[in-house]
Amino acid sequence: MARDRIRFIRRGRTVEIRDLKPTETLLDYLRLREGAKGTKEGCNEGDCGACTVAIGRPHDGRMIYEPVNACIHLAGMADGAEVVTVEDLGTPENLHPIQEAMVQHHASQCGFCTPGFVMSLFALYQDGRPVDRQGLNEWLAGNLCRCTGYRPIADAALGVCGHGARDVFSAASAGKATALAALADDEDVILGGEERFFAAPASLSALLALYGRHPDAVIVAGATDVGLWITKALRDLPKVIWLGRVAELKRIEEAADSLIIGAGATYNAVEPFIDAVDADLAVLWRRIGSRQVRAAGTVGGNVANGSPIGDTPPALIALGAEVVLASAAGERTLPLEDFFIAYGKQDRRPGEIVARLVLPRLGEGDVYRAYKLAKRHDQDISAVMAAFRFRVADGRVAAARIAFGGMAATPKRAAAAERAVIGCRVGDLSAALAVAGVLAEDFAPIDDMRASAAYRLDAAGSLLVKALVEAGGEATTTTRVRGFREVADAASL
C-alpha cells in the first residue's frame, strides 16, 4: 500500500505533509508554510547559494549533512531526511561555532548571503575532515557574496572547520540516524490523484510500472535542471516522479574493466570513484556546478537531459561509455553517443528511463584528456567541452575517440578528426595542427551568449592540439594554467 504523505525531521520532530503540490520547492515550504525566513531567495536558480540549507541522511549509523539549494530542491525530495536551516544552529546568547567565527572575523556585510554561507560551512563543519584554503574555496564556489567579503568568510571558516565537529548536531548524530532509520520504509509514496501527483517509488520495478502508466510524467533525480523549469520557465508540471527512494538506481559498482554508475547516484557520491578513472575527469567533476548542485544532481540526469552543453556526456562518450535504458518491458544498452538524436531529443521510448551508465576503464597505451572552457572557472556552463581518448602505440595514435560539447545540437563525436588523427605522431606540433583543421568537417557551431562560432571552432582545434602534445609527454605545467596532472602538483587538481 502506498504512503500518502512525505515525512522528514525538523527541529527534532517529524513533519508529515499530505497536501504537497508536485512542484512545491523546499524554499517555499520553509518560508511560506513554516515562516522560517532566515533562508533567503536570491537568484532562484541555484547559483548564488543564499537559499542553502543542509539535508542530513543516515550513513553507517551517523548523520551526513550536505548543502543543497532550497530554491530548486523540491519539498518532496526531503522525504526521509533531516532538514536543517540557519534558525536551527544557535541563539543570540549561544551561537553555533560557525556563527561565532563569522561574528569574530566580521564576515557579514549586508548580510543577505550570510545564512547561505553559514549553512554551507555548517555542512563542512560536520564533515570534520581537514581543509585548506583551496579546498574551502572549492566548497564555497556555490555561495555568492555581493559585497566581496570572501576573505573574512574564509578566515572564519578555516578557524573552526576541519578539526572535527563539536556541537549539538554531532553529539546527537547517532540518535538522529536511528530516528530516521525508524522512518524508513519500503512503501511507495504517492501524493495526489491520477491527474496531478508527486510520487516517489521505493523500488525500480514500482518506478517502471508507474512510469509505464504515466509516460507523460516528469522524472526528477536532483531537480538541478527541472527546478529551473519551475522557478524560471514557470512551467506547470502536474505529474512528478522522484527517483530518490529507488536504491537500485543509486548503486555504484567497480569492476576490473569498468565503473557502473546508477542514474540516481549524485555527483558527490560518484566523485571518489571517478578520481580513479582519470585525473582530468576528476578536475572536470569539481567544476560541475557547485557543492550544492553536486549534492543533489546526478550523472544520469545530466545524460537524460540531453543538453548539447552538458559537461559529462562528451567526457563519457570519449571514454566509450554505454547507457542502459530500462522500462517495464526490459532493458536495452546503447553506446552513449547514439542516445542523442537531435536537439532536445534522445533515443528514449515512452515509459523508459536512463537506468545506469557503464564507463570502460583506460587500458594500456590509452591516453585520456578532458578540457572545459567557460567564462568562469567555477560553476559555469561550458562554451566548449572537449574530451579525447587516444590509444598510443610506438609513439603514434592507433585508435581515437574524440567528443565535443557546445559544438553542435547534441554532444557529438568528431568522426573526420578521429580518422585524420590515426597514425599521427603524438607530440608533433605540426601534425597536430594539420589534424585540428579537419574539425571544420565535423562541426558548424553557432554564435550565442557563451561564445561565437569562430571562437568555438578555433578553441576546439587548440584543445585537440593540446591533447596530442600532452599525449606525447609534454608536461601539463607548460600547457595549462591550472589542473596540472603531474604528481608533484597534485594539489592543483
Find the CATH number of the domain harbouring 348. 3.30.465.10
Residue 238 is classified by DSSP as S
Shared domain check, 121 and 28: yes
DSSP 215-231: TTSEEESS-TTHHHHHH
- pLDDT mean across residues, the chain: 95
Residue 230 has pLDDT above 50, yes or no: yes
Shared domain check, 265 and 121: no
For the segment 93-98, the average pLDDT, to the nearest whole number, is 95
239-262 burial, b at 16+ Cβ within 10 Å, e below that, comes to bbbbbbbbebbbebeeeeebbbbb
For the segment 333-352, the average pLDDT, to the nearest whole number, is 96
Say if residues 81 and 305 touch (Cβ distance below 8 Å): no
20-29, 152-161, 379-388, 478-487: least confident range: 478-487
Place of cell 511507495: 188
Q: Which domain holds residue 114?
A: 1-184
The whole-number pLDDT of residue 275 equals 87
Cell of 228: 529551473
Q: What percent of the chain has pLDDT over 70?
A: 99
Say if residues 22 and 192 touch (Cβ distance below 8 Å): yes
Number of domains in the chain: 4
Most confident of 168-172, 316-320, 376-380: 316-320
Query: Pick from 342, 360, 378: which residue ends a domain?
Result: 360
Report residue 326's pLDDT band, with 50, 70 and 90 as the boundaries: very high
Say if residues 397 and 426 touch (Cβ distance below 8 Å): yes
Strands of the 239-242 sheet, one edge to the other? 189-192, 197-200, 239-242, 218-220
pLDDT in tens, 400-442: 999 999 999 999 999 999 999 999 999 999 999 999 999 999 9
Residue 195 has pLDDT above 90, yes or no: yes
What phi-psi label fits residue 475: left (phi over 0), alpha (psi between -120 and 50 degrees) or beta?
A: beta
Report residue 490's pLDDT band, with 50, 70 and 90 as the boundaries: very low
Residue 192 is classified by DSSP as E
Query: Pick from 145, 161, 184: which residue ends a domain?
Result: 184
For the segment 340-353, the average pLDDT, to the nearest whole number, is 96
The whole-number pLDDT of residue 491 equals 45
Measured between alpha carbons, how far is 402 from 222 in angstroms, rounded to an integer? 29
Shared domain check, 42 and 98: yes
Shared domain check, 114 and 234: no
Shared domain check, 349 and 393: no
The whole-number pLDDT of residue 487 equals 64
Residue 270 has pLDDT above 70, yes or no: yes
Residue 19 has pLDDT above 80, yes or no: yes
Shared domain check, 259 and 136: no
Shared domain check, 64 and 39: yes
Report residue 149's pLDDT band, with 50, 70 and 90 as the boundaries: confident
The whole-number pLDDT of residue 493 equals 43
The whole-number pLDDT of residue 1 equals 73
Shared domain check, 483 and 371: yes
* Cα–chain center distance at 263: 12
Query: Pick from 306, 331, 360: which residue ends a domain?
Result: 360
Cell of 74: 523540491
For the segment 280-309, the average pLDDT, to the nearest whole number, is 95
**CATH classification of the domain holding 414:** 3.30.390.50
Measured between alpha carbons, how far is 266 from 17 in angstroms, rounded to an integer? 25
CA atoms within 13 A on the CB side of 59: 9
Shared domain check, 313 and 268: yes
Place of cell 609534454: 474
Shared domain check, 224 and 312: no
Measured between alpha carbons, how far is 202 from 335 in angstroms, rounded to an integer? 29
Backbone angles phi, psi at 104, to 5 degrees: -65, -30
